[in-house]
Amino acid sequence: MAPFPTVPESEVPFVTTEQMVEVDRAMIEDYGIMLIQMMENAGRNLAHLARGRFLGGDPQGKPVAVLAGVGGNGGGALICARRLANWGADVQVLVTRDDDRFREIPRHQLRILRAMGLPIMRRAPEAPHFDLIVDGVIGYSLNGAPRGGSAELIAWANEQNAPTLSLDAPSGIDTTTGIAFEPSIRATATMTLALPKEGLRSPAVHTQVGELYLADIGVPPALYAAPPLELEVGTMFAQSDIVEVILRL
């Protein structure tokens, strides 16, 4: 498949975690664009990137592990799992907690996968072979070092030979400071959402972030331009819903 369009780091505003929280708030409260819509956009784009960058343009029969936490990041990964399974991939879903610990909208995505009959487990298989691992354990809501089931899945993913594609940020990376907690995902590529997060361009986490892609989740440019953000965002997604951000190293 043709590569995704590229955009230099200098032409893209980077945002802090606090600013991204404001984007999400304004999308829901000011524009009426609901979380489930944004999550669907994120998961769809993640599946497209997985197919085009890592699965040779055709996921049929290819084994993929999707790691999902209980929040919005996990919800996007579960949507990616659904789409890849619909396209013929052999998808296994690894979750950090039991179903009743998931937040409402990610739990809804989990119910869909159960209705589809996808294998969903708390423990990773002992002798796996995967063509791709999708990391949706923790996004920008990270609060300190990953613990419990999240830490276990991150450590497992880092032990595999398969490439890893992270959603929004590699799990375990602080998206404002660029601090890499222990454990944190060492991603082959990261697909961040709306605008790239400030911490992802820290030289200290370059090996964790890998290639950096940016995906459109439908944020109106006027939202960025309004206070308190006051950011000028152009038409980066005019040719593609996904672009690759070329970082200065």
- For the stretch 174-229, pLDDT in tens is 999 999 999 999 999 999 999 999 999 999 999 999 999 999 999 999 999 999 99
Domain ranges of the chain: 6-246
Residues 8-29, mean pLDDT to the nearest whole number? 95
**2 band by pLDDT with thresholds 50, 70 and 90:** low
Percent of the chain with pLDDT over 70: 99
**1 band by pLDDT with thresholds 50, 70 and 90:** low
Most distant CA pair in the chain, distance: 52
Give kind and range of the element (H or E) at residue 54.
none
Q: What is the pLDDT of residue 8?
A: 95
Question: To the nearest 5 percent, what fractions of the chain are helix, strand and coil?
Answer: 40, 20, 45
6-246: CATH topology is Rossmann fold (3.40.50)
Segment among 28-37, 39-48, 87-96, 118-127 with least mean pLDDT: 118-127
Q: What is the pLDDT of residue 127?
A: 63
Q: How confident is the prediction for the chain on average, in pLDDT?
A: 94
**53 band by pLDDT with thresholds 50, 70 and 90:** very high
Give kind and range of the element (H or E) at residue 224.
helix 221-225
Residues 236-241, mean pLDDT to the nearest whole number? 94
CB of 192 within 8 A of CB of 217? no
CB of 224 within 8 A of CB of 30? no
Length of the chain: 249
CA atoms within 13 A on the CB side of 89: 30
